[in-house]
Amino acid sequence: MKALLSMMKYIRRNRKLWVCGIFVPAFFSTATNLYFADRLQRYVIMITERRASLWEIFGMLLITLFVLLLLSWIDGMGLCAFSLFSAFTENELRDDFYDRLVRTPMNNLQKIGRGEFLIRYNTDIEQSTQIASRDMFGVLYPLFVGTGYMIAVLTADFRIGMIMVLLGGIVILLNFIFVCRIKQVQTEILQAKEVCASSCSDAIRGKMSIRQYCAQRTMSRKIEEAAEQLYQRECCRVRLETLKILTSGMVADSCMYLLTPFACIMAVFGSIGVPVVLFIHQLCRCFIMYTKNFAISFLQYSEHSLSFERVNSVLSFEDEKAENRGGRRGRAPGNYAITFRNVCVAYGNRQVLKDVSFTVSPGECTGIVGESGSGKSTLVKALMQMIEYQGEIFLGEENCRDLSLDILRKSIAYAPEHNDIFPVAVYENIRYGNLMATEEEVNHAAAMAGITEDRETFFRRDVGENGGQLSGGQRQKVSLARALLKNAPVYIFDEPTAALDSEAETILLNTVLQLKQEGKCILLITHKASTIHVADRILRVEGGCVFSEEQVL
Ligand code: ADP
Ligand code: MG
């Protein structure tokens, strides 16, 4: 029910289309069938009692045809409105979903997994839209239309009407029983499909790593097991579908095929007229057709609501600190010392930083060393407000929590340890660091990052997905050039030389010295001895604490 309530927002936004899309077809298709059944009855009366001339009958036929075509044309227009509603809603939901992903803090993104998740969510968005469109249609339409036919048949002959309603009720009940069981089986089918897909994606990734043979073998065994599960479940579903057809389908069909002969027998005994038999026959067929599909819509709703739950888990992410939100300071601080005061960070239950306090002075290069996994990158992520932390971090006099994200991130040029490369040309990749930069500035930043390749061709190169067509060193240089293009007062380099050759490393270290001369505040995280020697002083991260080491230079 929660899914339905949440989708109400979209129904309200496009309410005119929704009302037109559901009620116009329902109303006009009921009207078409009722009108046709009524006309049929009249023709029989006219023909059997021979009251009308051939011309009169022909004239009536033409009018009937015109009215029926008009009604079904309006019905068709309603269905167009329905499709438009579906398209609008899907787009709005997708827009909200991606907007939320872009705005949410980084730790939320880590909850939902790696890149391939978006393809799965796209299907979920399509399925969720159907809650407001097809599922509502599947329930409301038969309710509306079925009630119309029911009343018409009950009025024509109460006894036959009652039998029809009773049999219709049995069909719906039987459908519900099977539908609930099929729903369980379908959940298991979905799980098996997910295991197949994720094992296959692991195997592909494993192929590229050193574990290739082991990974491939383990993953293909997992895929085989999941495929076997999938097959078993599919067989179970087919069995249930067959049983459903044999029971509820047969009741529905007997309703259709028994009621008309029954009405004929009643006509023989004179309790109803022959024309009424035709009227009842026509409407019974329509009534049963909708009854059969009524329960299926509930099944689809429960499937779609599973999809919606996944989409909703993203929709309910909070926004990252709103940029320049009221009350937040949008002024850049005058001095750029960085002060950590009693900062604690935990990932889940695991405490990574414990009560860390230290100050980094402006105008010098501070090195940060420590074992892998000691929490060096975590220090920077907290400063950049990418993760939650306790305690306070100051940029100059300003508490980072009070600074708008826009100002904070403009004040810091950050080259993260994972060199993110976007699927655009190398030049554009660098320019993302400062979209206002001129070509000359991009060239300068590239030179400072140690890009010694022929820039004319290198800048225009396609980088492939995740920069896969660049070497590790090239990716690192592009990422460094992007940070250097920013011209901020604070520079943070996280393992900047991990993938660089010694020539590029020397160029980068010269750049660091140059930045220092320009009076920038530099934080250099590294574990390489050849890199750390440019630092004026060193902080060591160990056991979740930060210790100061003696001056190096
Ligand atoms: P490093 O000193 O190598 O830069 P990090 O700061 O990246 O270390 O990580 C510190 C610890 O926190 C590591 O043990 C790492 O496994 C853990 N960690 C880092 N990021 C996450 C995360 N998003 N979720 C859970 N644990 C994390
Ligand atoms: Mg790190």
282 and 337 both lie in a single domain:
no
The protein residue whose alpha carbon is closest to atom 1 in ligand 1 is: 373
467 lines ligand 1 (CB under 6 A): no
Range of the domain at 168: 2-315
Q: How many C-beta neighbours within 10 Å does residue 411 have?
A: 20
Residue 261 domain flag: yes
Query: Of 269, 294, 315, which closes a domain?
Result: 315
471 and 505 both lie in a single domain:
yes
Pick the residue with more confidence: 375 or 405? 375
Give the three-state DSSP class for 546: strand
DSSP result, 357-392: EEEE-TTSEEEEEE-TTSSHHHHHHHHTT-S--EEE
Q: Given pLDDT bands bounded at 50, 70 and 90, which one contains residue 109?
A: confident
Per-residue HEC secondary structure of 168-183 comes to HHHHHHHHHHHHHHHH
What b-and-e string marks burial along 469-492, b requiring 16 or more CB atoms within 10 Å of the CB?
ebeebbbbbbbbbbbbbbebbbbb
Interval 239-280: pLDDT, tens = 998 998 888 888 888 887 888 888 888 888 888 888 888 888
Of 490, 486, 483, 484, nearest to 333 by C-alpha is 490
264 and 366 both lie in a single domain:
no
Q: How many domains does the chain have?
A: 2
Residue 230 domain flag: yes
Q: Which ligand is nearest to the CA of 493?
A: 2
The protein residue whose alpha carbon is closest to atom 19 in ligand 1 is: 378
173 and 150 both lie in a single domain:
yes
Atom of ligand 1 nearest to the CA of 107: 23
305 and 433 both lie in a single domain:
no
Residue 283 domain flag: yes
Q: Which phi and psi angles does 421 have, rounded to 5°?
A: -120, 130
69 and 132 both lie in a single domain:
yes
Residue 320 domain flag: no
Interval 280-325: pLDDT, tens = 888 888 888 888 888 888 888 888 988 898 899 889 888 876 554 4
- Here the tokens at position 470 are 């660049």
244 and 338 both lie in a single domain:
no
Kindly tell me if the per-residue pLDDT of 552 is higher than 50.
no
- Here the tokens at position 404 are 């708008």
Query: Of 289, 315, 341, which closes a domain?
Result: 315
379 and 474 both lie in a single domain:
yes
Q: Which ligand is nearest to the CA of 541?
A: 1
Sheet of 545-549: strands edge to edge? 412-415, 490-494, 521-525, 365-370, 537-542, 545-549
349 lines ligand 1 (CB under 6 A): no
Average pLDDT of the residues in 196-203: 78
110 lines ligand 1 (CB under 6 A): yes
Kindly tell me if the per-residue pLDDT of 335 is higher than 80.
no
The protein residue whose alpha carbon is closest to atom 16 in ligand 1 is: 373
Residue 386 Cα, ligand 1 centroid: separation in angstroms?
13
Q: What is the dihedral of CA 136, 141, 142, 148, to 10 degrees?
A: 150
Predicted model pTM: 0.77
CATH number for position 533: 3.40.50.300
279 and 299 both lie in a single domain:
yes
Residue 405 domain flag: yes
Give the three-state DSSP class for 14: coil
414 and 284 both lie in a single domain:
no
The protein residue whose alpha carbon is closest to atom 21 in ligand 1 is: 347
Q: Name the H helices within 50-132.
A: 54-103, 106-111, 117-130
Q: Which helix (H) or strand (E) holds 490?
A: strand 490-494
CATH number for position 13: 1.20.1560.10
305 and 335 both lie in a single domain:
no
In this predicted structure, what is the pLDDT of residue 550?
A: 58
In this predicted structure, what is the pLDDT of residue 551?
A: 45
158 and 186 both lie in a single domain:
yes
379 lines ligand 1 (CB under 6 A): no
Residue 221 Cα, ligand 1 centroid: separation in angstroms?
31
390 lines ligand 1 (CB under 6 A): no
Residue 321 domain flag: no
Query: Of 257, 286, 315, which closes a domain?
Result: 315
